[in-house]
Amino acid sequence: MHARRSLLGVALAGFLVAAASGCAADTATADGAQVGSSSSQGSSGQPGVAGGSLRIVASTSVYGDIAESIGGDRVSVTSIIDNPDKDPHEYQATGQNALALSKASIVIENGGGYDDFIDSMLSTAKKPGAIVVNAATISGYDQHPADGSFNEHLWYDFATVSKVADELAGALTTEDPRGAAFYQANALDFSQKLDALTAREKQLQSLYAGTGVAITEPVALYLLDAVGLVDKTPAKFSEAVENGTDVAPDVLSQTIAPFADHRVAALVYNSQTTGAQTDAVLGAAHAASVPVVAVTESLPAGQSYLGWMTDNLAALGAALSQ
């Protein structure tokens, strides 16, 4: 997916009109998948409460699934980006998105420039009191390093995801104190499952630390770093692919060269971004019989976050063992 595209086409004024008119009609639906309990207006009349459940808006289904894991049937979650074909960098938010946001008690975003449409809507929202859970802020990583190297794909960093889960449990407890024990128990269960994934990372690290790999984009780089793998791809290549710009011929040659002499043990390939240059790298890997691990930015349909990451680690381990 192409990063850091401008969202100047977002018509914020239209959002406010849509939200204002939509609040009178609860039959309007948000542009995004809903999981959890019903999103109809609760008898309490609180804007953030739906059918007795807290309303949560997540920028993507990755964070929506995490919210569902923590909130269970006490929450109603709307994920704005719920389709792998939608690119958060280029997403044009709608009036229905603004309506969903105006009714939310909690908003979850990745931050760090990944899903700026959320901040744009929050800046003009009619309901500014929603609790915002921002993964980039929670991560503690420098979001704007001098070399521009901040990796915004934070859901591949289990330490950050664990912090997000804890922050979300706290926000849910603030909004719904009666559910405190329920939220804390779910957060503990989720964190323990994350610990199992972290343990698998450490197991792979003990076997393969220092092994060279190639990437097409830094999508899974947090996970690769945790395993101790060394990215042998020229930064100019992965940056160009991520930003949707052309790769210079000499950079492409430098990217392909490690496959022929097996300086890399695997290619970790973003299957959601294709083009002549990524196809050339994929072809070089196949020609040299270097295993390919396909990863994605978006949560695959029908998958949970934990199941998805379990599969990613299994695929990486299988590739490295060849």
The predicted-structure confidence for 144-173, as pLDDT tens digits, reads as follows: 666 667 899 999 999 999 999 999 999 999
43-47, 123-127, 242-246, 304-308 — which is least confidently predicted?
A: 43-47
Residue 248 has pLDDT above 70, yes or no: yes
What class does CATH assign to 209-320? alpha beta
The pLDDT of residue 34: 44
The pLDDT of residue 91: 76
Distance of alpha carbon 258 from alpha carbon 149, whole angstroms: 23
Q: pLDDT-derived band of residue 92, with 50, 70 and 90 as boundaries? A: confident
pLDDT in tens, 258-277: 999 999 999 999 998 888 99
CB 97 within 8 A of CB 122: no
Residues 6+ apart with CB under 8 A from 245: none
Residue 112, burial from CB neighbour count under 10 angstroms (0-12, 13-18, 19+): buried
**Domains of the chain, residue spans:** 12-195, 209-320
Average pLDDT on 63-69 reads: 98
Say if 12-195 and 209-320 have the same CATH topology.
yes
Distance of alpha carbon 294 from alpha carbon 321, whole angstroms: 16
Please give the share of the chain, as a percent, with pLDDT higher than 70. 80
Q: What is the mean pLDDT of the chain?
A: 83
Residue 243 has pLDDT above 90, yes or no: no
Q: Give bridge partners of residue 314 from the DSSP assignment.
A: none
Q: pLDDT-derived band of residue 89, with 50, 70 and 90 as boundaries? A: low
The pLDDT of residue 127: 62
Distance of alpha carbon 64 from alpha carbon 247, whole angstroms: 35
Angle (CA) 288 292 296, round 5°: 150
Strand ranges across the sheet with 267-270:
230-231, 212-215, 267-270, 292-295
Q: pLDDT-derived band of residue 246, with 50, 70 and 90 as boundaries? A: confident
3-state secondary structure of 57: strand
Residue 107, burial from CB neighbour count under 10 angstroms (0-12, 13-18, 19+): buried
Q: Name the CATH architecture for the domain at 12-195.
A: 3-Layer(aba) Sandwich (3.40)
The pLDDT of residue 142: 76
Give the pair of three-digit tokens for residue 307.
């199941």
The pLDDT of residue 239: 83
The pLDDT of residue 17: 35
| 262-297: b (≥16 Cβ within 10 Å) or e | eebbbbbbbbbbeeebbeebbebbeeeebbbbebbb
Please give the share of the chain, as a percent, with pLDDT higher than 90. 63
When computed from its CA atoms, the radius of gyration of the chain, rounded to whole angstroms, is: 21
Distance of alpha carbon 54 from alpha carbon 75, whole angstroms: 5
Write down the pTM of the prediction: 0.83
pLDDT in tens, 272-302: 888 899 999 999 999 999 999 999 999 998 9
Ramachandran area for residue 4 (φ above 0: left; ψ -120 to 50: alpha; else beta): left
Average pLDDT on 96-110 reads: 92
The pLDDT of residue 126: 67
The pLDDT of residue 146: 65
Q: Could you identify the residue written with the tokens 């603004």?
A: 98
Distance of alpha carbon 301 from alpha carbon 70, whole angstroms: 20
The pLDDT of residue 52: 46
The pLDDT of residue 260: 93
Q: How many residues does the chain have?
A: 322
The pLDDT of residue 93: 77
pLDDT in tens, 164-198: 999 999 999 999 999 999 999 999 999 999 999 99
Average pLDDT on 79-95 reads: 77
Residue 10 has pLDDT above 60, yes or no: no
DSSP string, 178-229: GGHHHHHHHHHHHHHHHHHHHHHHHHHHHHHTT-EEEESSGGGHHHHHHHT-
